[in-house]
Amino acid sequence: MSSEIGGNGKEPVFEVPIQALEEALGTTFRPADLEDIDIGFEECESLYAALNAYHQNNRIQPVATANTVRPNLSFVSLAQGVIVERALPPYAAGSYLPRNGEYEIPVDEITRTLLFADAVVIEDPIFAFCRAVLSRNWMEARPSFSLLEESLQQLARFRPLLEQRLLRLTAYFPDAVENFSADIPKMGKDGMAVRDVTAATNYRDARVLRLITEKVPDRAQVGSEEWRSFIRSVTDKEGSDFQWLYRQAESLVYGTVDPDAYCPHLPNDYQYAVFNKLLARNAKSADLDIGTMMELNSGCAADPAKINIDDLVRIRRDEQVFNEWRELVRVSVNAAQLRKEDGKGKLEVFKNEMKNRGRNWQSNFQKYNKGKLKDLMTVSKEVSVGGFKAAVAAGAGAAFDPTGISVLGGLFYGLYKSARNVEKAADRKAAEAAALSFLTVIRDTPPS
């Protein structure tokens, strides 16, 4: 699988964070080496420093083509903000981060989504956890470092996905809210409204609000009470949809920092409807197969416990196989959406479509193997035969090349070409085996 290339045609535009993690932890980033890891404040500080530098210097880049599907899994979330009690570069004490990010690895979502997506992006939970810890003053209490240790171990199990750039980590750097406490209303006889607090802290990015509603006042030109009143009016109008509209709009706004870097992760019908509402309001269209993505990754179509990480890597070694697998899923989803069978839900129709179409798809792969693709034993013979032919040809021309360079050149070319055939054949077989194994992960019934 080819890696992304930067503007100069040589340097990769997005590095993987493995080296930064290993340098901060002082050990190799593999599950076996992290089993007995003991994280404390010192390790947390090292991780924050290394990952802060990494994320500042390695921003997520645009996708290669318009058809590339690379969803962000954790940007649309209700992650909590962080009060900065002690100076933490680049944040000053007394400020507030409207949202910090989740602390856990979305394990099931990653594996489920990579059945279909070209790659996935998640907010770095290691960085988010360390930022939250270092933002606070800790006295007798102690952070739950066990959660960080678990996230590190889970991420290490995904190392093959990180190495192949199928799993991407990025960090959200929200603008800090300075002197936020001055905008929070004081406790009155009727108490304090939660939405007034969130208006003064969480929901105040004008770029985001403009995607939700028109005529957003200039925050610098209005007083605190007028701003809170504006937010109250929007939340009253949108009801329970408001917080999700804001989070999805925030995700789109953040994506404009690195254009076309993201597409939404819509894990259920509700999020899908919210996203469509957001698009309709802004008269925008998304050239993405969002419907298929939602159906496949809704949590009911595929069983993540049956998805093997190595298989996710193997299928990507042959993009033709991967594309054929995705086409199988796409036509099965479309058929399930169009067909209406009495007493059958979309999942059951989709499962039957996958079973019926998968049977033909599997036979086509087997026919390809018997007809066009030589097995590894036959291809291996080509190595010796190719090398022999190269040696004979080189020997015949030896009289004209007393240095022997052409002899070696012809021999090595024959060996190289045959070795590449073996490699391609092996990759193809591994990719097919991975794709066929994916047919077994489709759920028979929705999870309880």
The residue to which tokens 């919210």 are assigned = 274
Residue 399's pLDDT is what?
A: 44
Instruction: State how far the Cα of 219 lies from the Cα of 98, in Å rounded to an integer.
Output: 16
Q: Tell me the pTM.
A: 0.78
Instruction: State how far the Cα of 104 lies from the Cα of 112, in Å rounded to an integer.
Output: 16
**pLDDT tens digits, residue range 265-312?**
677 778 878 888 887 887 654 444 555 565 555 555 778 889 999 999
Instruction: State how far the Cα of 190 lies from the Cα of 211, in Å rounded to an integer.
Output: 33
Cβ of 198: how many Cβ atoms within 10 Å?
20
- List the chain residues with pLDDT less than 50: 1-13, 258-259, 285-288, 371-408, 411-413, 415-416
> CA 181: distance to chain centroid?
35
Residue 370's pLDDT is what?
A: 54
Residue 33's pLDDT is what?
A: 94
Instruction: State how far the Cα of 323 lies from the Cα of 234, in Å rounded to an integer.
Output: 43
Residue 149's pLDDT is what?
A: 96
With a CB cutoff of 8 Å and minimum separation 6, the contacts of 322 are: 315, 316, 431, 435
Decide if 223 contacts 210 (C-beta within 8 A).
Answer: no
**pLDDT tens digits, residue range 69-89?**
788 787 777 788 899 999 888
Which two three-digit tokens encode residue 66? 């318009």
- The three-state DSSP-derived secondary structure of the chain is CCCCCCCCCCCCCCCCCHHHHHHHHCCCCCHHHHCCCCCCHHHHHHHHHHHHHHHHHCCCCCCCCCCCCCEECCCCCCCCCEECCCCECCECCCCEECCCCCCCCCHHHHHHHCCCCCCEEEECHHHHHHHHHHHCCCCCCCCCHHHHHHHHHHHHHCHHHHHCCCEEEECCCCCCECCHHHHCCCCECCECCHHHHHHHCCCCCHHHHCCCCCCCCCHHHCCHHHHHHHHHHHHHHHHHHHHHHHHHHHHHHHHCCCCCCCEECCCCHHHHHHHHHHHHHCCCCCCCCHHHHHHHCCCCCECHHHCCHHHHHHHCCCHHHHHHHHHHHHHHHHHHHHCCCCCCCHHHHHHHHHHHHHHHHHHHHHHHHHHCCCCHHHHHHHHHHHHHHHHHHHHHCHHHCCCCHHHHHHHHHHHHHHHHHHHHHHHHHHHHHHHHHHHHHECCCCCC
Residue 143's pLDDT is what?
A: 94
Residue 264's pLDDT is what?
A: 65
Helices 405-438 and 346-371: angle between axes, nearest 10 degrees: 150
